[in-house]
Structure formats: C-alpha cells, structure tokens
Amino acid sequence: MLVLDDRVIRSSFVNATRKELSELALPDLAGIDWDRLDYLGWRDPRLAKRAYIVVPLADGPVGIVLKQAEASPRTRAQCSWCQDIQLPNDVVLYGARRSGAAGRNGNTVGTLICANFECSTNVRRLPPSAYLGFDTEAARDRRIETLRIRSGDFATGIVEGS
C-alpha cells in the first residue's frame, strides 16, 4: 500500500459528513508498516462503534466511515475479506452509508470484517500445508491478492452505489 499522510486520508472519505470529518481521529501514521498493509483500518478511540477504512483503488484511496452493528454474531463468524479459517480475533458486522444521494437516502452496505482490521496480518501467515507438495507461498500470495480484491470491491460498491 502507498504511504498515506493526514491530508490524503482526510480528503479520501466519500461517505463522511462534515461533522464526522471534524471528529476524525487518525491513528499513529508513523508506526505503520505500509509494505505489509493492504488497506488502512482503525477504530475511533472516542466513539466505540465507529471505525474507518482507507482502501487503495486505481483512481486513488477511498476512505469510508463504518459503524459497528449493535448486535454481535451469535456464533464465531468468518471475516468476509481475509476469510481466515484459523481466525485469532473477533469478527463484527460493519455497515457503511453509500456515498452521494444514495447515502443521504439511507442506503447502506454491510460486511463482516475482523474487529480491529487484522486482515493484512492474517493473510500473510503461511497457511497449513493441505497436502504433500502444497505451495504455501503461492497460497499466501493468493490470499493477499484476494483480500485486495474484496476490500476494493467493497469500496467500489460504496462509491458506485451513489
């Protein structure tokens, strides 16, 4: 992922209100290993149910305000993005308003994502060997590419849903 700064991140949001942008608390950008990140995601430290993601797309980064659903899944859920079967973390349902007129009319999209956005870490772990001769490096590379596609598709759906 390209290194993003405060200005780029703030200007990338497509579904944020002026109030949400003014309340936006950015993570410590200096402590991020950008080479091992497929999208930037963080929870708002002041508002427990609000989170943010910035997904790199061909036309530039797309920032999205997320809201965590009130209810948590009754059973252990699988993240829709990393689809890690040995998930070491919680998964929650996040919803996002679509951009533009559709979002102002109340149209939203939801998805199950790792609660603290650990997807990039999860897909970089070597998967268990499925059979003799299984190429774990190639499987990891496919998982990374699949994460990029799924997160990009979600961001595109927010933008194009307007």
DSSP 96: E
For the entire predicted model, the pTM comes to 0.89
* Paired tokens of 49: 């149910």
Q: What is the pLDDT of residues 134-160, one digit of tens each?
A: 898 999 999 999 999 999 999 999 998
Per-domain boundaries in the chain: 6-160
- For residue 81, the surrounding DSSP H or E stretch is none
Q: What is the pLDDT of residues 34-67, one digit of tens each?
A: 999 999 999 999 988 999 999 999 999 999 999 9
